[in-house]
Amino acid sequence: MADYDFLQYEMHDDGSIVRILLDRPDARNAQNRGMLVELDHAFLRAEADDQCRVVILGGTGPIFSSGHDLGSKQAVAEYSSHPTWQINGGSRDGTEKRMLQEWHYFFQNTLRWRNLRKITIAQAQGPVYAAGLMLLWACDLIVGADDAVFADVVGTRLGMCGLEYFGHPWEFGPRKAKELLLTGDSIDVHEAHSLGMVSKVFPRAELESSTLDFARRIAKLPTMTALMIKESVNQTQDAQGFYSSLQACFTIHQLNHAHWAEVHDNRFPAALPEDGITAWREALPIVPAEKTTVRAAGAAAGGGAS
Ligand code: ZN
């Protein structure tokens, strides 16, 4: 049995349910390279296991995942120590390196999990930002604790057009996707439920047990039936353009990175304060996207980044 540094891998109900938990609670379950590589291993392990019918993806601690790890000690050390930084384009330079690395570890990873031959349920609590959303969207079903909040702040804080896996219009609808990306504002779990992104909202204290109950109900279905239902919906989305639009938007994402790398002397591939972006540490708290106000009550007025 594999040991993971950044995950917990649990089997429930005689192995019919596998629960994978992101396990860096002190780092808000930010996704470092080691975690993403382990997560791919864990998903493929559950996929290969014929006992397994449903996979739950959750996170330990108060937050499901705060997104990609953009600079913790762990993440920085991995640039020189993790073997995946020397393969899949990691030894190349410039846009080629970034494109290939993001293609493998952000985009194709996520797409592979979306197409996993098992039913998957994401279990979210607390604020889920940016690449945290990619992990949720890769799953067939999403359930949330009543404190779950969702936002993508890469536009307002990094000058980027969204995530490497551009699920936004498919999950929020096209106009809401534009609004949320252009403002960096958040929606709560109830609005995500009304948009169809989230299936169930559970009290925080009952999130784990209720998600397991939900998984048990789905695990009763014949595996062939469950997979054909999943595949019918996925193929419908693919026929509607999901697959090709994600490919196109990945390319646009790389164009956006290439722009910032080109205009910065240090080749930093995202916007900096000199580009009109509020510095990450000084950014105002993320506020809810409210129907009748530009900025939620109680938040500072003016043109902050969030
Ligand atoms: Zn990127």
**Distance from residue 71's CA to the centre of ligand 1 (Å):** 14
Q: What is the percent of the chain with per-residue pLDDT over 90, rounded to a whole number?
A: 91
DSSP string, the chain: ----SSEEEEEETTTTEEEEEE--GGGTT-B-HHHHHHHHHHHHHHHH-TT--EEEEEESSS-S--SB--S-HHHHHHHHH-GGGGSTTTTS-HHHHHHHHHIIIIIIHHHHHHT-SSEEEEEE-SEEETHHHHHHHTSSEEEEETT-EEE--HHHHH---S-SS--HHHHH-HHHHHHHHHH--BEEHHHHHHTTS-SEEE-GGGHHHHHHHHHHHHHTS-HHHHHHHHHHHHHHHHHTTHHHHHHHHHHHHHHHHHHHHHHSTT--SS--GGGTPPPGGGPPPP-B--SS-SS-TTSPPS----
- The per-residue pLDDT for 278 is 83
- The per-residue pLDDT for 302 is 45
**Distance from residue 102's CA to the centre of ligand 1 (Å):** 6
**Distance from residue 166's CA to the centre of ligand 1 (Å):** 11
What is the C-alpha to C-alpha distance for residues 6 and 31, in angstroms, rounded to an integer?
9
- The per-residue pLDDT for 299 is 55
Provide mean pLDDT across the span 157-178. 97
Q: Is the pLDDT of residue 191 over 50?
A: yes
**Distance from residue 146's CA to the centre of ligand 1 (Å):** 30
**Distance from residue 165's CA to the centre of ligand 1 (Å):** 9
Q: Is the pLDDT of residue 264 over 80?
A: yes
Amino acid identity for residue 236 in this structure: T
**Distance from residue 35's CA to the centre of ligand 1 (Å):** 17
- Domain residue extents for the chain: 7-282
Provide mean pLDDT across the span 115-144. 98
**Distance from residue 246's CA to the centre of ligand 1 (Å):** 13
Q: Please, what is the average pLDDT of the chain?
A: 94
Give tens-digit pLDDT for 211-248. 999 999 999 999 999 999 999 999 999 999 999 999 99
**Distance from residue 274's CA to the centre of ligand 1 (Å):** 20
CATH code 3.60.21.10 for 7-282:
no
Provide mean pLDDT across the span 35-57. 98
Q: Is the pLDDT of residue 304 over 90?
A: no
How far, CA to CA in Å, does 262 sit from each of 25, 175, 266, 268, 294?
35, 30, 9, 8, 33
| Tokens describing residue 219 | 């695990």
Give tens-digit pLDDT for 60-109. 999 999 999 988 999 999 999 999 999 999 999 999 999 999 999 999 99
| Tokens describing residue 53 | 């019918």
The answer to whether the CB of 8 falls within 8 A of the CB of 38 is no
**Distance from residue 93's CA to the centre of ligand 1 (Å):** 15
Cut 0.85: pTM above it: yes
What is the C-alpha to C-alpha distance for residues 49 and 9, in angstroms, rounded to an integer?
13
**Distance from residue 206's CA to the centre of ligand 1 (Å):** 35
- The per-residue pLDDT for 76 is 93
Sign of CA dihedral 26, 32, 34, 37: positive
- The per-residue pLDDT for 305 is 37
Q: Residue for token digits 């993508």?
A: 152
**Distance from residue 279's CA to the centre of ligand 1 (Å):** 18
Residue 19 pairs with which residues in a beta bridge? 10, 56
